[in-house]
Structures are given as structure tokens and as C-alpha cells.
Amino acid sequence: MQWHVKIDIPFVLLADDPIRGIIVTTLSIIVLVILVFVITFPHTHQFLSTKSRWIIDAKSGQRVKLTCVNWPGHLRPMIPEGLQKKPLKDIVENVTSMGFNCVRLTWATYMFTRAAYTNLTVAQSLDRLNLKAANAGVAENNPQLLDLTLIDCQEAVINELGAHDIMVVLDNHVSQPEWCCSDNDGNGFFGDTYFRPKEWLKGLTMVAKRYKHNPSVVAMSMRNELRGPRQKREAWYQYIQEGATAIQLENPKVLVIVSGLSFETDLSFLKKKPLRLSLNTKLVYEAHWYAFGDPPEKWLFQTNQFCASITQWFMSQSGFVLGGENPAPLFLSEFGKDQRGANEPENRYFSCLMATVAERDIDWAYWGLQGSYMLREGQVEFEEPYGLFDANWENARNSTFLDRLQLVLKMTQGPKSKDSRYYVIYHPQSGQCLQADRGNVSATNCHHWSLWSHDGDGSPIWLRRNSGCLAAVGDGQSAVVTTNCSSQQSLWRHVSSSKLHLAAKDDQGRDLCLEWNSSNSTIVTKKCVCLGDDLNDVPWCSEDPTRQWFKLISTNKR
Ligand SMILES: *[C@@H]1O[C@H](CO)[C@@H](O)[C@H](O)[C@H]1NC(C)=O
Ligand SMILES: *[C@@H]1O[C@H](CO)[C@@H](O)[C@H](O)[C@H]1NC(C)=O
Ligand SMILES: *[C@@H]1O[C@H](CO)[C@@H](O)[C@H](O)[C@H]1NC(C)=O
Ligand SMILES: *[C@@H]1O[C@H](CO)[C@@H](O)[C@H](O)[C@H]1NC(C)=O
Ligand SMILES: *[C@@H]1O[C@H](CO)[C@@H](O)[C@H](O)[C@H]1NC(C)=O
Ligand SMILES: *[C@@H]1O[C@H](CO)[C@@H](O)[C@H](O)[C@H]1NC(C)=O
Ligand SMILES: *[C@@H]1O[C@H](CO)[C@@H](O)[C@H](O)[C@H]1NC(C)=O
């Protein structure tokens, strides 16, 4: 998208009065620069590239953080979900108002490569599946889409997102349109029943070509959740190379997102044999992190220990790409939880995960936006408990959930933040941040926070630009900011294997941990719970330590 600004600089004034002329000219130039910046800046996302582990704006070099929500369009109807429930514009406005700057829009290869699908209109696709209510719903809410082909409908969605400055990551989710993913669904790995490598390459090429002049499409992810009995590393290197080349040939501007093996949980083989692509500044890796398959009793009774080990596992399987000799960006492109909150193991997983996402300021995409699916696994109007929308795509499924994302919706770090010595104190269970108001400490929604500094275990946590520091007063009492920073009540240490408990000693020498009190949203100090859940002699802890989980998040943002 090109923007032209025409501004007449009043040079003529120079003739009358040199000083006035210089002032006016200078002011005009400043106005011009500001205007050009304001008008072009939101539309420069199209040129994203990478620098070390950061995704940046190719022109300005500033970091651009992807804070996305997944929006599926790869199921059998091949229509982005929800268009049968609400006008496209309303859905997109909600995406904006919820705070996301990006959508990971999923698509199926066959929609582009098979004539039987490419020629279908939205109405025909729904008729074919006998989805009468969905058809009537689209007719009512989005009549302009009904007679578009499926691909044109996808483009209409992308254009609407673009009109609201929402970036789009196009994710090749499956070959045959279908709910994803299992080991034996024929869509898992190159050579599976429906997953023909040549056809996949053709699909990637067609998508890259179709959107190469569309600035909203900032990235293409090559394939979702490679998996199954056929998966092999050698084949992975070969096809990832071919896919990346195919995309780049058509569209050298777009970011190319690469996933690993085993349902997008394993990139560890890259440590031994790096991927040698000529992508330079366009390569981003992606990973998924869910609680699926985790033993629930581990999350329930050994919460600290399990969080520590699962975090270590994630970092060694995927997160390591952020560091090392050749750092690259990592896009956590799926994670999510049941919004109803009744799945307690999953609640704890989510707090654990949020601590890592915030700590590293990782780019991410929540799964998912959809309150329901037109048709999933044979069921019409399948409700999605992980969805941000309720089943009618009307209200938030859980109004408190978005509060938990407030810090990670913001950018706290960036290419220049290495020298930052300041921290936000973050409570992942609530998604809140600590704020000091004179002597009092409270938990806020992370639109504001206090900056703290800390030189490591056993030292005070100082309030920036203040001689005060965080201190424990006593068991069950509010944490305070004090000026007496030499006592043991203001010397803090990480005391559990998850490194998420922060403790100071009270005047009797007993450990007191920071704790969030949900009933009045204050920060108190209490006896630490479940510290020893990694020790053999205390194998079970029946309390919930996540209310005592805090993370110091390094930041360069004030
Ligand atoms: C699809 O549409 C194109 C253009 O209208 C037409 O040439 C082609 O024959 C159609 N293919 C099928 C399989 O219907
Ligand atoms: C929203 O989530 C919270 C926290 O998990 C839970 O306590 C609450 O019951 C949920 N509300 C609804 C309406 O599901
Ligand atoms: C979506 O926007 C509408 C209109 O502003 C609003 O009524 C509704 O609550 C929003 N839904 C969500 C989930 O934000
Ligand atoms: C600190 O909090 C207490 C109790 O909520 C309140 O009475 C007091 O005024 C607060 N002090 C300051 C300095 O805000
Ligand atoms: C909240 O509860 C804590 C602990 O019970 C108490 O010390 C504090 O004064 C309360 N704060 C407010 C603002 O009510
Ligand atoms: C600071 O704390 C120490 C240890 O608790 C105490 O001995 C000292 O009196 C305190 N000083 C002030 C000024 O409160
Ligand atoms: C939280 O604070 C409330 C109000 O001050 C208090 O009644 C309650 O006992 C506190 N909860 C915990 C777990 O300390």
C-alpha cells in the first residue's frame, strides 16, 4: 500500500522575514516528518524481517512483536469460522479491541490445489456439507461473502484484517480440509495419504503469489504440526528447504515460519545439524505448548517441580533457538486453555507457561478466537471451550481471561534491551503486575507497573528512582516498600525449583513468600507453600503454589 502526502512548505515566507521564514520552514518540516511517520508507520508491517532473535520492521529496525490469535479456516467448509454468526467487520473489530495485532489464519492446501474446491463458492461449500444453518447465517451476517469462491472469501477476511491494521500469518494447517491433528489422519507428514509434497509446494507457491502485493500478509508458516509414523529428520531438512525456496521465489518479503517435528514440539535436532537456508533475515521458528498428555497429578501435587521440568523441556526442545550462536525468533503459535477454568492441572500449566512467555517476551498466537466451529469432527456447531468468544461469537467466553494476557500483549524487551537492569514483577496466575504507591504495594492490570532492580539472590529488590525497597513485614501482612533495606526482611531469594517463589526472612528468620490475595488483589507475604515438592520425602503438596508465583521480567520499557 502506498501513501502519498502532499504538503506545501511555505518557502515564500522566507522572502519577507528571514527569521520567521526559518521558523515556519522548520516547523513545516517537523510537521511533514510527523505526518509521514504517522501515516506510513502503521502500514509498514509488510516488511518484517529478523535480527538475532527479534522480528523487526525492515525499514525502521524497530522490534515488531506478534501478539496473535488463531482463527481457523482449514476445516471441511474451508471458511473462516464465525462468519455464520457475526459480520466480518464486527469480528475483526473485536480482535482489535481485545488487543491483538495479528491473526494466524489457517488454510488447507486443497482449497488452492484441487479444482473441485477452488471453484466452490461459500454457499456451495456449505450446501455440499448440508450445513443449512451456517448457510443461512452467512447469508444473514455476511451476504457479500456468500457467492465468493472460498479463496476470495479468505482474501476478503485478510483485507478486512488489513483495514484494521491487523497483521496476518497464513498457516498451512492441513492438506485435506479437516480438523487437525492426529498421528494417522493422513495429513501428518510428507508422503502421508493426503500430504503430497509436490502438491504442498504448489499450494505454498499459489498462496505466496496471491498475496505478494498484500501488505497485511506478513508471514507464511509452512506446515502445522508435522507428525506421525512417517516423520523423519532427513525428509524434514529436504522439504523445509524446498518449501522455503518456493515461498521466497514468489514473495521474498514475507517471513517464512518453520515448525519442527512431533506436533510442533521438537526442534532439538537443529542443535546438531542447523538448518542451512538462504533466508537470511526472514526465518522464524515456531512451536506449540499445551498441557495435553501431561500427567494431571504432576500439575496438581508437584506443581513447582513439574513446572521447572516442563519449562526446561520446552526450552531445550524449542526455546533454545532464541539463544546460542545463531539466535532466531521463536513464534509460540499455539497454546491455550479451557476458558471455564475448571481444569485445574491446565490452570497451573497456563501460569507456568505465562511465566516463560513473559520472561523471554516471546512472540505468540493464542488458540483460539473461535467460539464454535461450523462443523468439526462430524459435529455441527461444535463449541470450543478454549475459544475467546462464546458459542455465539458475541461476548467473551470468560471476561477475566484477557486480563491474564495484558503483560504479554505488550513489548517489554527488544534488540537494545541487553543493558536493561530493570524488572517488572509479574504474577502469572492473575496476569497482574506489582505497583508501588509510596509505601503500599498492589497488584495492577499491567497497564502500569513499577520498575524494580535486583542484583540476584540475597539482595534487595529496589524501587527504581527511589531509595525504597520491597520488604516482608510478617506472615499474612501486606508487602511494603521501606527505606530500611539492610534487614533480612528485604533480602530476597528464589527458593523453589521453578524459581517462581520469591522469599525474604521475617524477624524470626522464617521464609515468607510473596503471595497474591485474590479477594482484595493485594500482595502479602505468607509461609511459602510446596517448596519441597521436588524432594522425595515430601512427594505430594495439596496446596496451590501458583498464587505465590512471581517472575522478575527484565524490561527496557518504562
Ligand atoms: C473451474 O472454473 C474455471 C473458471 O471458471 C473453469 O475453467 C474450470 O473448468 C472449472 N473447473 C471445474 C473442475 O469445475
Ligand atoms: C473464568 O475463569 C476463572 C479463572 O479460571 C474461573 O474461576 C471462572 O469460573 C471462569 N468463568 C466462567 C464464566 O467460565
Ligand atoms: C465485540 O464487540 C461488540 C460491539 O462493540 C461488543 O458488544 C462485544 O462485547 C465484543 N465482544 C468481545 C468478545 O469483545
Ligand atoms: C496504604 O494503604 C492503606 C490501607 O489500604 C491506606 O490506608 C493508606 O492510606 C495507604 N497509604 C498510601 C501512602 O497510599
Ligand atoms: C488486603 O488484605 C491484606 C491481608 O489480609 C491486608 O493486610 C490489606 O490491608 C488488605 N488491603 C486492602 C486494600 O483492603
Ligand atoms: C532496620 O532493620 C534492622 C533489622 O531489622 C533494625 O535493627 C534497624 O533498627 C532498622 N532501622 C530502622 C531505621 O528502622
Ligand atoms: C485475603 O484478604 C482477605 C481480605 O483482607 C482476607 O480475608 C483473606 O483471608 C485473605 N486470603 C488469604 C488466602 O490470605
Nearest residue by C-alpha to atom 6 in ligand 2? 341
For residue 488 and ligand 6, the question of a CB distance below 6 A is answered with: no
Q: Ligand 5: residues within 6 Å at CB?
A: 477-478, 517, 520, 522, 524
Residue nearest to atom 13 of ligand 4 (CA): 438
Report the pLDDT value the prediction gives residue 243, as an integer from 0 to 100: 98
Asked whether the beta carbons of 516 and 429 are under 8 A apart, the reply is yes
> Does CATH number 3.20.20.80 belong to domain 48-405?
yes
- Ligand 4: residue whose CA is nearest its atom 2: 440
Q: Could you tell me the distance, in angstroms and rounded to a whole number, from the CA of residue 371 to the centre of ligand 4?
A: 42
Residue 398 Cβ contacting ligand 2 at under 6 Å: yes
**How many Å apart are CA 336 and CA 501, to the nearest integer?**
24
For residue 268, report the distance from its CA to the centre of ligand 5, in Å.
47
Q: No. of H helices and E strands in the chain?
A: 14, 25
Rounded Cα–Cα distance for residues 329 and 223 (Å): 17
Residues 270-297 pLDDT 10s = 999 999 888 879 999 999 999 999 999 9
Q: Where are the beta strands (DSSP E) in 213-366?
A: 217-221, 255-259, 283-288, 330-334, 363-366
Is-above-0.95 flag for pTM? no
How much distance in Å is there from the Cα of 345 to the middle of ligand 5? 29
| Ligand with minimal distance to 429 CA | 2
Walk along the chain (558 residues) and give the pLDDT tens digit of each residue.
333 333 333 333 334 555 565 665 666 666 555 555 544 444 444 599 999 999 999 999 999 999 999 999 999 999 999 999 999 999 999 999 999 999 999 999 999 999 999 999 999 999 999 999 999 999 999 999 999 999 999 999 999 999 999 999 999 999 999 999 999 999 999 999 999 999 999 999 999 999 999 999 999 999 999 999 999 999 999 999 999 999 999 999 999 999 999 999 999 999 999 998 888 799 999 999 999 999 999 999 999 999 999 999 999 999 999 999 999 999 999 999 999 999 999 999 999 999 999 999 999 999 999 999 999 999 999 999 999 999 999 999 999 999 999 999 999 999 976 666 899 999 999 999 999 998 899 999 999 999 999 999 999 999 988 789 999 999 999 999 999 999 999 999 999 999 999 999 998 999 999 999 999 889 999 999 998 765 555 568 999 999 999 999 999 876
Tell which one of 430, 477, 519 to mutate to probe ligand 7, the residue whose CB is within 8 A of the most ligand atoms.
519
Atom of ligand 7 nearest to the CA of 476: 14
Ligand 6 near 442 CB (within 6 A): no
Give dist(CA 233, CA 58) in Å, integer: 32
CATH number of 423-554: 2.80.10.50
Taking only the tens place, the pLDDT of each residue in 420-437 is 689 999 999 999 999 999
Give the domain ranges of the chain.
Answer: 11-40, 48-405, 423-554
Looking at every residue in the chain, the average pLDDT score rounds to: 91
- Sequence-distant (6+) residues with CB within 8 A of 155 are 210, 211, 214
